[in-house]
Structure formats: C-alpha cells, structure tokens
Structure 1
Amino acid sequence: MDHTAATHAADVLIEALPYIQRFTGKTVVIKYGGNAMIDDHLKRSFARDIVLMKHVGINPVVVHGGGPQIGRLLERLGKESRFIGGMRVTDNETMDVVEMVLGGLVNKEIVNLINQQGGRAVGLTGKDGGLIRARKLQTRASAGEGDLGQVGEVSSIDPAVVHMLDSGDFIPVIAPIGVGEDGAAYNINADLVAGKIAAILGADKLILLTNTRGVLGGQGELLTSVSAREVAAMVADGTIHGGMLPKIECALDAVNSGVKTATIMDGRVEHAVLMELFTDQGVGTQIRG
C-alpha cells in the first residue's frame, strides 16, 4: 500500500470511529432483499458488512425476503402464482413452497454466506422460539378482492430467542414466516416483519434495502432525509406511490414505535450498509419522527 492509499485508509477509519462508538452495543435491523440477495458479488459484500458490524460491537439482526425465489420454484413445479394487490395468494400447497424456500434454501444460503466471512449466523423462522405470532391478513374479500389464503400479519413478537443469540455473539437471520394460534404457518411481508422486530427490540436503526436509490422527490431527486410530516404530505399528493408506499409506511411505523431512525436505501450499491452506518454522507433516505 503506498503512502497516499494508507493515509486514505486512516481517514476512512477516523471518519468511522464516532459512528462505531455511537452504535456499539446497539441493535440494527436490516431487511435484506432485492438485487442485493441475487447478485453473487453483492451477496458476499453484504455478508462482510454484517460480520464487520458484529465485530465492532453492533448487534445486527437480518430479516430477509425471497419473493422471486418462491416464484421460480412454483414455476418449476408447474404451479401458477396469483397476486391480489401485489400480495401472493398462498394456499396450503404454496405455503409449503414458501416455507421450503424462505425457511430453507434462502435462509440457509444467507447463514452460510455470513459464516464463510467469519460470522456466526443462526437461521430462524417465526416458528422458532415462538418468535412471530401471526394472524390471517384481513382483506376486503367482500369487495371482490378474493382470499389471500395463508398470508398473515404480525399479531405479536417474542424476542427472547433473538436476545439469547445476540448475547451469545450469534447473528440472527430471520425468515418472515409466522405461526397462528391454531399452529398454521403464515407468509408475512418481510418489510413489515423487519419493522415490527426493530420496534420490539428497541433498535437504534432500521435499514430497508431496495432496488431504488431511496425516496425520490417530485423532480426525481433523491431525498436524503425526510420527517414523518413531510412523508405524509408526499403520500397525500402522490409523490410517493406504488411499491414505495408499504416500505414508507413500515419505516414510519418503526420510527413512531421508538426506533430512532429508519433508512430506505439502494441495496445495489456495494457496502451500502457500511456507508450508511459509518460515513458522514450515508446512503438513501433517512426517515425521522
């Protein structure tokens, strides 16, 4: 390493130091999805970021999705995917596939990636340790929207198993499958689960990785920081719409429930999580209360 490169490396560490000090001992919940969990290079980059966070004393908790992977396996099995209002209709057979993909293939791949980078990850679904209690998501079926089947929402979260893993220097990797009072499994939106877990853990930060730069203003510009009041105005006038709406609502719910900040950011940027946590610039859009 030449002198200039060494000086730059030192500058990076010095810039990161106050952020490391601020987040040491704190919990950060990361919703992992989109391109970041499909591109091999980004997958390894994400795993390294998570391991570094743990090694500097932060407690990362990963919640992941897996919609495209579920869709691909259903297609291979010859089962058509149906959606109502952007949500997958989940009958018994589809739920079996959801559990196989989310709780099995995808979850264990993420665990393996983190462990290969020197971490100690443990994979969970909401069934483990009674982590996520769910109830059937109520839709306006009477208005002709149809029944979503085993699609759920969070009724309660028992974080005991997550606390136990954190205290043992393990990294929890959570698949968004909940269990109902009747023992039935429910497929739950991963953004929603990440927000609820962040709130119940009293996380300092919620990070939602997406395939967009963050929240965009009326001229298509990236908004680096917005308040809850500004978000409400942008939702009302249609500036925020479509697929960004549920992410924004999830981030707002988390902030309103005591999470200090929530950030929606581009998972296609290498080391986006580290840049958001440890640099002055940050990445994406930070949502404040």
Structure 2
Amino acid sequence: MQILDKKLGTLNMDILIKKAGILIEALPYIQKLYGKTVVIKYGGNAMINETLKNSVMEDITLLKYIGVNPIIVHGGGPDITKALKNFNIESKFVNGLRVTDAQTIEVAQMVLVGKTNKEIVSMLNCKGGKAIGLCGIDGNLIECEQYKTVVDGVETDIGYVGKITNINSKVLELIAKDEYIPVVAPVGVGKDGQSYNINADTVAGAIASALKAEKLMLLTDVEGIKYSSDSDDIIWEISKKEIYELINKGIINGGMIPKVLGCIEALEAGVNRVHIIDGRIPHCILLEIFTDTGIGTMITK
C-alpha cells in the first residue's frame, strides 16, 4: 500500500493541473491543424546540438500522431563543408551561395542524400515516426535549371546551383497524407539529369507553395524579426506590407532579407502562415504553433 503525504500530494496535483492547462491551450490549434500540411525547414544549430536534435524529432513525431502532416526539408551546409575539407576541396561562397563545381556537387549530393537525410530519417523512426527520405531527383520531385547570381551588376556562373522550375508534389502528398513523414534533401535535377545544389530555405518555400501548406516554419539561429538591430523585442506577428516597410528602413537587412522575401513568396502562392523561429530553443515547433503567444515571428497575408 502506498501512502501519499497530503502536502506533497497537493503539490503534485498543482503540477498535473498546470499540465492539463497546457493541453487545453493547445486544443484549438490542434483542431485547426488536423489533417493540414506543415512544411518545416530544419537547419542551423538545431541540426548540430544533440539535445536540440532530439527535441525537434519529438516535436515532428508528435505532430504526425495528432493528425498533422509534417514535411521536413533539411539543410546540411556544415556537413558539406566538413566533407569537402576531408577531400581537400576548398569551400567558396558568392552572395551567400556555395560555388558548386563538378567535384563539389558530387560531395554535396553524397552528404545531403546519403548521410544527413538518412540520419534524420533514422532519428524520426527511433522516436516512433515512419519517415521516408527523398531528394529532388526522386520522381523528378524538384525540377530545376542552373542559377546564375549577379556580382557587381554582372551575371556570374557559380556552378551546379539550381533554380527551381517545378515541384512535382504528388509524391509528397501521397506520402504525407498517409502514415509517413517525408524528409527532403535540397538536391534538384535538370532536364538532362544533372544534379543541382539548392538553398534549403528556397526548397522549403517552393514545396510549401506547391502544396498550399497551412504553415511554413523556418528553424533559424535567430529569435525572429526585431524592431531594430539593438532591440531585444521580437515582432510576434507581421504582415507583408510591414515587412517591406522594415526592409526600406534598413531594419530588416543582410541575410534576413532573402529569408523574409521567400516567406512572402510562399504566402502569395497560397501558404496560410509562415513562421521564423529560433531553433536553439528546445521544442520550438510545439511552442510556436500550440501556445497563445508563440516564440518567434509569424508572417501573415
């Protein structure tokens, strides 16, 4: 027979009631997202730190079990850089994009598809999910052509870097609406069968747009969009119009500009909500979409 101290029992009951309150707070969000597609761009420190890796995999698995259809698009820049170094191949970047020659695309494809993708699939499966790894070559999922960037007003060839021309979303719809979790590596394919390296944020936005996803979530190493560079205050919700105003004022600048413009493109293509959240916070996905306040910046139409 177990005898519970009355004072201790009251304390435990308070904790349990608070936990019940958290679940009730999440209920309307769960109801709204049931059966909907959520595209998650997984990258940054959340791919490096083991504790954060586990929390992200738990979040994604939970989403699937409560009736949401998550689709994961992952990056892998640090893994590619490390592998290139092992092969004595120098990493070069132009306008934030990796210069990708014939040797580099081979290594990038090997790392993204053969290593990083399968590690994520394995972690999700260990959490009780049923993940399937894909890349843009599978079923011509991500069709693309060569992308050329502009440097000092001149169009510049940076190798096998892809510009997405089409997303064949049927395979993703079939997998995601069944019991599986698609995990997509950002490698596309040209009409001639050539592989191309593509920015993972761009791939996530294009997939979310093609599927008219309910949400696109970008896990980053920043807290969200701020009012100014020296402010600690996060903008919890912002519209497309307000985004452009902050860009014109120089408040949104640098690497955040292409990220937010990609978010706007996704909204214009039919995605309902876009979230930029701090992937360094444990269980950041659940905290953003299942709590009243959230933890990052939500961009709306």
Q: Which residue of 2 aligns with 1:61?
A: 71
Task: Specify which of 195, 199, 202 is matched with residue 212 of structure 2.
Answer: 202
Deviation for aligned residue 1:143: 4.3
Q: Which amino acid aligns with 2:112?
A: L
Shift in Å, 1:9:
1.1
State whether residues 84 and 145 of structure 1, in contact with CA within 8 Å, keep that contact through their aligned partners in structure 2: no
Moved more, 54-63 or 238-247: 238-247
| Cα offset, 1:142, TM superposition | 8.7
CA contact (8 A) 1:141 1:147 kept: no
Asked if the contact 1:84/1:146 (under 8 Å) is kept, the reply is no
Shift of 1:84: 0.8
**TM-fit CA distance, 1:150:** 0.2
1:281 deviation in Å?
1.2
Q: Equivalent residue for 2:292?
A: 280
Q: Which amino acid in 2 is paired with 1:235? A: I
Q: Distance in 1 between matches of 2:286 and 2:150?
A: 41
Partner of 1:247: 259
> What is the deviation of 1:167?
3.0
Contact 1:29 1:63 in 2 (8 A): yes
Aligned to 2:127: 117
Q: Any idea what SS the aligned residue of 1:235 has?
A: helix
Cα pair 2:40 2:72 within 8 Å, conserved:
yes
1:73 alignment partner in structure 2: 83
Matched, 1:153 2:163: yes
Size of the alignment, in residue pairs?
Answer: 289
What is the deviation of 1:237? Answer: 1.6
Q: 1:40 and 1:234 mapped to 2: Cα distance? A: 35
Partner of 1:232: 244
The residue type equivalent to 2:103 in the other structure is E
Name the larger-Rg structure. 2
The within-5 A match list for 1:248-267 is 248-267=260-279
SS of the residue corresponding to residue 133 of structure 2 reads strand
Q: CA–CA distance in 2 between the matches of 1:74 and 1:227? A: 40
* Cα pair distance change 1:150/1:58, threshold 3 Å: same
Identity %: 47
Please, which of 94, 106, 125 is the counterpart of residue 96 of structure 1? 106
Q: CA RMSD in A?
A: 1.3
**SS across alignment from 2:104:** helix
- What runs of 5+ residues in structure 2 fail to find an aligned partner? 1-8
Provide closer, same or farther for how the CA distance between residues 243 and 142 of structure 1 changes in structure 2, counting only shifts above 3 A: closer
Q: By how many angstroms is 1:140 displaced?
A: 2.9
The residue number in structure 1 matching 2:281 is: 269
CA contact (8 A) 2:148 2:156 kept: no
Match of 2:47 among 33, 37, 41: 37
Residue by residue, what CA displacement relative to the aligned partner does 1:197-228 show, whole Å, maximum 9, x if unpaired?
A: 00111100000000000011125221111110
Q: Give the TM-score normalised by structure 1.
A: 0.97
Deviation at 1:41, TM superposition (A): 0.5
CA–CA distance in structure 2, aligned partners of residues 8 and 37 of structure 1: 31
Distance 1:246 1:45 in 2: 27
Q: Unpaired runs of 5+ in structure 1?
A: none
Inter-partner Cα distance in structure 2 for 1:144 and 1:246: 19
